[in-house]
């Protein structure tokens, strides 16, 4: 019980900080979707946030989506679920079925699978392409060198309805350079949605034009 009260206090404080960051950047709060990344957090806490009126959540593993969100979505049909993790090709169909927005497209094979899901289920979802702006070998995402041809292929060869681009900057560097790189790349393709900014750098991301910020720790506390 006290755990939940403590959590709600932190959460409400974070919302204020978020709103102030939007004001400071002279942005309009309606153009920024705050995604509460609930990975490794129990349904009980997620329910608290939903009951507070919040509807946008993120997860990075399909197993966790299945464990928590099949039930939560039945209970709360208005919630929007964002998949922000690495997409395994054999899990693509499950991700398509259970999530509303997919942030992490980075290979042609995944695009093909998503297109065949769209045909099979007569549904489309919202998609972001993940760009590995730091060209880090251990990280998902399309490298900068391949980004333009990959985006072009998604849009023109596969007719995928790409909404925007997503990135996770390298640790211990100034994230601003990466956010601006993502924004410039998006501009070249008229993609105005930018999924960027996490607990540590959301204020910078908002200043750089983020339209979707993905915040876990600052909302739900540290993950074990």
**Hey, which residues does 154 pair with through a beta bridge?**
none
**Nearer residue to ligand PLP within complex by CB, 85 or 164:** 85
> What is the closest distance, in whole angstroms, from the C-beta atom of residue 156 to ligand PLP in the complex?
27
> What is the closest distance, in whole angstroms, from the C-beta atom of residue 186 to ligand PLP in the complex?
18
- The footprint of ligand PLP (CB under 6 A) covers 37, 39, 60, 84-85, 168, 198-200, 214-218
Burial of 12 (0-12, 13-18, 19+ CB in 10 A): exposed
**Nearer residue to ligand PLP within complex by CB, 14 or 96:** 14
Distance in angstroms (rounded) separating the CA atoms of residues 57 and 118: 22
> What is the closest distance, in whole angstroms, from the C-beta atom of residue 201 to ligand PLP in the complex?
9
> What is the closest distance, in whole angstroms, from the C-beta atom of residue 39 to ligand PLP in the complex?
6
**Nearer residue to ligand PLP within complex by CB, 55 or 188:** 55
**C-beta of residue 58 within 8 angstroms of C-beta of residue 65:** no
**Nearer residue to ligand PLP within complex by CB, 194 or 198:** 198
> What is the closest distance, in whole angstroms, from the C-beta atom of residue 17 to ligand PLP in the complex?
13
**Nearer residue to ligand PLP within complex by CB, 35 or 114:** 35
> What is the closest distance, in whole angstroms, from the C-beta atom of residue 198 to ligand PLP in the complex?
4
Residue nearest to ligand PLP (CB): 216
**Nearer residue to ligand PLP within complex by CB, 92 or 195:** 195
């Amino acid at each position: 019980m006290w755990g939940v009260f403590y959590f709600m206090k932190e959460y409400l404080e974070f919302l204020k900080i978020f709103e102030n960051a939007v004001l400071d950047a002279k942005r309009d709060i309606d153009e920024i979707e705050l995604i509460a990344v609930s990975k490794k957090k129990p349904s009980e806490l997620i329910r608290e946030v939903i009951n507070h009126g919040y509807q946008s959540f993120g997860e990075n593993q399909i197993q966790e989506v299945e464990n928590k969100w099949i039930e939560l979505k039945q209970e709360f049909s208005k919630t929007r679920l964002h998949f922000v993790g690495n997409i395994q090709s054999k899990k693509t169909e499950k991700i398509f079925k259970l999530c509303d927005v997919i942030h992490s497209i980075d290979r042609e094979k995944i695009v093909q699978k998503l297109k065949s899901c769209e045909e099979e289920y007569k549904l489309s979802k919202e998609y972001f392409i993940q760009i590995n702006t730091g060209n880090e070998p251990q990280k998902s995402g399309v490298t900068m060198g391949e980004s333009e041809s990959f985006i072009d292929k998604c849009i023109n060869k596969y007719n995928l309805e790409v909404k925007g681009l997503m990135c996770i900057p390298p640790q211990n560097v100034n994230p601003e350079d990466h956010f601006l790189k993502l924004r410039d790349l998006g501009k070249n393709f008229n993609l105005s949605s930018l999924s960027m900014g996490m607990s540590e750098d959301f204020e910078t991301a908002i200043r750089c034009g983020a339209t979707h910020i993905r915040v876990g720790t600052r909302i739900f506390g540290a993950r074990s």
